[in-house]
Chain A
């Protein structure tokens, strides 16, 4: 299976799109997560969250919900919403492979978040398209060399302190 490769340029574009979304939706924090549970980019008050745990649990949540959808004959449930007493989480699928998480409180509203997420999703999808094209090019000749093509057994052993 192809690896998921993220280059500096697209990373900046993703962060920019997330920052804009956070601002326009008046959200506390916004995260973009790979469906396998890896964090891709984020914006806002992220320091108050355990981002790694958040990414893995969100991916598990989405995977379980996907399973539920298939059980009842739906292709997917593209939006999940968890309502808390103060903070709420809006989760949606972007470009089929990523998960967009928006954490917000009563300074915003579900309606506003939904509206802004829809708009941001279009921008994010465009960036993912570029990433996919770049990744395809990278697989062929002339693409950027993988930093791992030249690792030695010694490098790997050193990692394990041997």
Chain B
């Protein structure tokens, strides 16, 4: 749910990074944080366990500049990927404007990817959203690892609605901004339609 503030001339949108445990959601946010000019970003918050696993969410506010006089601000959130944190995951999707699914390209994680997309679909539905209509992009992360599944096979298994799909190595930043831009654009185009 986009928040349009005519008084402060601001528009705020919420993007959620979704995906199975250890797929690189937090790493995506950390890369964006490190590469963004200080004046365009706020503090990054990570609610993590002592072992650095996401417990509730990571949060990064990002200022993209202005469009027709309105400051465009994106709030990026990650969900905890581990299966048993489903209750928390559901909460983060509240009021979401767009979703980025980060898939782990390793062969051994394919089942976890599939399960996580199903979980996303179900949790969106509970908030009254539909994965087939919400702004959405798919990222094949960890392309630098030796045991990755070929891209066309991953596409066949994980692509939901011919959404834009990106190969990525979040640790070095490959594909990170392209994925973000894709969803941000879709959100703004949605706004235009309303």
A residues near B (Cβ < 8 Å) are: 1-8, 11-12, 34-38, 40, 50, 52-53, 56-57, 60, 63-64, 66-67, 146-151, 155-156, 158-160
A157's nearest neighbour on chain B, judged by CB, is B185
CA distance A31 to B104 in the complex (A): 40
Q: List 11 interface pairs A-B (beta carbons < 8 Å), by A numbering.
A: A6-B3, A36-B3, A50-B43, A52-B42, A64-B91, A66-B91, A67-B91, A146-B4, A148-B194, A155-B67, A159-B67
Bound CA–CA A12/B185 (angstroms): 32
A139 CA to B184 CA in the complex, in Å? 23
Which residues of B in the span 34-77 have a Cβ within 8 Å of any Cβ on A? 42-43, 45, 47, 56-57, 59, 61, 64-65, 67-70, 72, 75
B188 part of interface (Cβ distance < 8 Å) = yes
User: Are A159 and B129 interface neighbours, CB within 8 A?
Assistant: no
Which residue of B42, B69, B75 contacts A50 across the interface (Cβ within 8 Å)?
A: B42
Assess whether B142 is interfacial by the CB under 8 Å rule.
no
Q: Is the CB of B1 within 8 A of A2?
A: yes
Is the CB–CB distance between B56 and A64 below 8 Å? yes
Q: Given A1-B129, A147-B69, A151-B68, 8 other A-B contacts at CB below 8 A? A: A1-B128, A6-B6, A8-B7, A35-B95, A148-B67, A149-B194, A151-B192, A160-B64
8 Å CB contact of B43 from A7, A53, A66: A53
Which residues of the other chain, A, contact B128 by a CB distance below 8 angstroms?
A: 1
* Cβ-based interface call for B181 (8 A): yes
Nearest CB on A from B45, distance (A): 6
Instruction: Give the residue name and chain of the B residue nearest to A8 (CB).
Output: B7
* Whole-angstrom CA separation of A4 from B7 in the bound complex: 13
Binding site for A on B (CB under 8 A): 1-8, 11-12, 14, 42-43, 45, 47, 56-57, 59, 61, 64-65, 67-70, 72, 75, 87-88, 90-92, 94-95, 128-129, 181, 184-185, 188-189, 191-192, 194
CA distance A12 to B16 in the complex (A): 31
Residues of B within 8 A of A146 (CB): 4, 191, 194
Query: Are B65 and A159 within 8 A (Cβ)?
Result: yes
Interface of A is mostly: mixed
Alpha-carbon separation in the docked complex, A44 to B1 (Å): 28
Shortest Cβ distance from residue A53 to the other chain B in the assembled complex, whole angstroms: 5
Q: Which residues of A contact B92 (CB under 8 A)?
A: 60, 63
Docked-complex contact A63 and B192, CB < 8 angstroms = no
Shortest CB-to-CB span from A71 to chain B, Å, is 8
Whether A34 contacts B59 by the Cβ 8 Å rule is no
Which of A36, A63, A151 makes the CB contact (< 8 A) with B67?
Answer: A151
| Complex: A53 Cα to B189 Cα, angstroms | 27
A3 to B3, CA, bound (A): 6
Which residue of A52, A149, A158 has the most chain B CB atoms within 10 A of its CB atom?
A52
Nearest 7 interchain pairs by C-beta: A36-B95, A11-B7, A63-B91, A148-B191, A38-B3, A52-B42, A3-B2
Given contacts A12-B7, A38-B12, A148-B194, contact A159 B72 (CB under 8 A): yes
